[in-house]
């Protein structure tokens, strides 16, 4: 690939110039950039920017990759950078990466640059482009999906951390013959960011919900209905909350908080996972705080979740696994329309090497009450 100027989607891709130095420092010295691109020098200085413009970027081009400045077509001022690396010619494969200056964020610059360079790569013979993201970088994950990249899996310990150790990276891939437009998502965003029936509201779980979730999921009666019945570690709950949006975007599970619609007070939590994508089956679960039990809020939350599953999420069937003696949960599910389908003997792990039964209830779209 040669460093030709590309104008598309409202951005200009051009070679770097020395008068870009101040904006390169602005972008690369920013803490958010450094958090997700651990290989950048820290602190990032004018000397680092000068080296990149005069040596680093030219070396990327010489090695068969690309290193573009992303500029505003109206002013030609630098907004960020986008490039191709890890080029494997015989596989027709390359990795795309980018950063955006703080003042240019929220304007679609990363998406525009990613689409423009990906299309140029395909036009010049590349067959497969990878985009790797930090597991907590949900902004980049949304860019990947919007640019048509599909989630392919986790690269375990693929990236060195600044403070030592290694981090997982998520791999998103677009092929030259993939259909145009955003990648399909098994779990779409909630309409307007929430679901509500006027009594309860469901919204996505987030990092700030760790205290609440730890308190809820360490309650003895909640633990008793888990398999195995072992209280979760605090660190596991914190990680669950930090990665809730990521796991939603990758299609693993949609975790939600249940709130009282009037006061906004937390009522409990619920979740939906796509348990069998090929069959269009999802599995849901929920838990409520003690003060809210018995008032019908669990039924309302399950009904809202099931309606979203059969609607925007386009699932064809829902299942719910329960402990055989959890009569209260059976009643909630049956009020929504779930039917008992069978007892799976010894399906789940218990304590000390034992196994416990799983009573499964199922729901079809026409049965939702």
Q: What is the dihedral of CA 23, 27, 29, 30, to 10 degrees?
A: 130
User: Which pair of structure tokens corresponds to residue 136?
Assistant: 């907590």
- Where do the domains of the chain lie? 6-175, 191-367
- For the chain, give me the number of helices (H) and strands (E)? 12, 16
At 3, the pLDDT band (50, 70, 90 cuts) reads: confident
Judge whether 6-175 and 191-367 match in fold. yes
pLDDT of amino acid 23: 97
Mean pLDDT, rounded, of the chain: 95
Cβ 168 vs Cβ 156: under 8 Å: yes
Give the mean model confidence (pLDDT) for residues 209-213.
Answer: 97
pLDDT reading at 1 higher than 80: no
Q: What is the pLDDT of residues 60-84, one digit of tens each?
A: 999 999 999 999 999 999 999 999 9
DSSP classification of residue 82? E
Using a 10 angstrom Cβ sphere, with 0-12 exposed, 13-18 middle and 19 or more buried, the burial of residue 144 is: buried
Report how far apart, in Å, the C-alpha atoms of 226 and of each of 46, 322, 326 are: 55, 9, 11
pLDDT of amino acid 161: 87
Cβ 301 vs Cβ 268: under 8 Å: yes
Q: What is the pLDDT of residues 236-246, one digit of tens each?
A: 999 999 999 99
Sign of CA dihedral 139, 278, 174, 56: positive
End-to-end CA distance of the chain, in Å?
58
* pTM to 2 decimal places: 0.92
The CATH superfamily of 191-367 is: Gcn5-related N-acetyltransferase (GNAT) (3.40.630.30)
**6-175 CATH, one of 1.10.10.10, 3.40.50.720, 3.40.630.30, 3.90.330.10:** 3.40.630.30
Cβ 320 vs Cβ 360: under 8 Å: yes
Q: What is the dihedral of CA 170, 174, 180, 185, to 10 degrees?
A: -30
Cβ 76 vs Cβ 12: under 8 Å: yes
User: Which pair of structure tokens corresponds to residue 336?
Assistant: 């929504």
Long-range contacts of 346-350 (CB under 8 A, 24+ apart): 347/321, 348/227, 348/228, 348/321, 349/227, 349/228, 350/227, 350/228, 350/229
Cβ 72 vs Cβ 11: under 8 Å: yes
pLDDT of amino acid 2: 76
User: How far apart, in whole angstroms, are the C-alpha atoms of residue 210 and residue 59?
Assistant: 45
Give the mean model confidence (pLDDT) for residues 203-228.
Answer: 94
Sign of CA dihedral 126, 104, 149, 49: positive
Q: What is the pLDDT of residues 321-354, one digit of tens each?
A: 999 999 999 999 999 999 999 999 999 999 989 9
At 132, the pLDDT band (50, 70, 90 cuts) reads: very high
């Amino acid at each position: 690939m040669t460093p030709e100027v590309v104008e598309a989607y409202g951005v200009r891709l051009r070679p770097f110039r020395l008068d870009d130095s101040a904006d390169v420092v602005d972008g690369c010295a920013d803490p958010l950039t450094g958090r997700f691109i651990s290989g950048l020098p820290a602190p990032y200085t004018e000397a680092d920017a000068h080296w990149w413009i005069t040596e680093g970027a030219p070396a990327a081009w010489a090695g068969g990759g690309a290193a573009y400045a992303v500029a505003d077509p109206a002013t030609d001022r630098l907004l960020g950078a986008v490039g191709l690396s890890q080029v494997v010619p015989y596989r027709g494969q390359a990795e795309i990466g980018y950063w955006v200056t703080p003042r240019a964020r929220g304007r679609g610059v990363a998406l525009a640059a990613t689409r423009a360079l990906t299309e140029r790569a395909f036009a010049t013979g590349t067959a497969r482009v990878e985009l790797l993201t930090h597991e907590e970088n949900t902004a980049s994950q949304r860019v990947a999906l919007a640019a048509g990249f599909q989630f392919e899996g986790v690269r375990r310990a693929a990236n060195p951390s600044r403070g030592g150790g290694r981090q997982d990276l998520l791999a998103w891939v677009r092929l030259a013959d993939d259909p145009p437009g955003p990648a399909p998502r098994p779990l779409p965003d909630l309409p307007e960011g929430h679901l509500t029936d006027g009594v309860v509201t469901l919204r996505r779980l987030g990092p700030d919900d760790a205290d609440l979730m730890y308190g809820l999921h360490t309650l003895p009666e909640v633990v008793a209905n888990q398999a195995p019945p072992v209280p979760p570690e605090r660190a596991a709950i914190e990680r669950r909350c930090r990665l809730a949006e990521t796991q939603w975007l990758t299609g693993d599970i949609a975790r939600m908080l249940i709130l009282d619609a009037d006061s906004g007070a937390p009522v409990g939590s619920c979740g939906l996972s796509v348990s069998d994508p090929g069959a269009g089956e999802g599995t849901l679960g929920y838990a409520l705080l003690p003060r809210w039990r018995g008032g019908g809020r669990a039924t309302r939350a399950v009904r809202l979740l099931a309606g979203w599953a059969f609607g925007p999420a386009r699932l064809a069937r829902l299942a719910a696994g329960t402990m055989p003696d959890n009569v209260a949960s059976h009643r909630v599910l049956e009020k929504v329309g779930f039917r008992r389908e069978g007892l799976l003997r010894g399906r789940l792990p218990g304590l000390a090497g034992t196994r416990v039964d799983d009573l499964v209830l199922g729901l079809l779209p026409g049965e939702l009450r």
